[in-house]
Amino acid sequence: MKIAVSVVLSCVVVIAGMAPVVGAASPQQNKMKACNAAADEKGLIGEGKGEERKAFVKECLSAKSPKSGKTAQQEKMKTCNKEAGSKKLTGDDRKAFMSTCLSS
């Protein structure tokens, strides 16, 4: 009897461990949902639309998200880094220059 209970409990633990975690959808899942909804809105539903829909969804998924543009801080870092490189600054001189450049 103890062996049967142990086997059943072991199976339950293994199955529970293999079950997908239920929770918030990943960004990729959200993007897929949005692209499929956009394809539906464009009327890419039904027979004969399979390849056209697939191409649309592929294009939609590969599109950059609006947040992928560089932030002002990233642009400033790029500019300061380029300027420090052109002045051939290294070590502490470069750190000091970058600090003042980024804080201005």
Query: Which DSSP string do the residues of 39-50 spell out, in sequence order?
Result: HHHTT--STT-H
Tell me what the pLDDT averaged over the chain comes to.
Answer: 80
Confidence of residue 79 (pLDDT cuts 50, 70, 90): very high
Left (φ > 0), alpha (ψ -120 to 50) or beta: where does 101 sit?
Answer: alpha
pTM of the model: 0.41
Coil/strand/helix, residue 67? helix
Res 15: pLDDT = 67
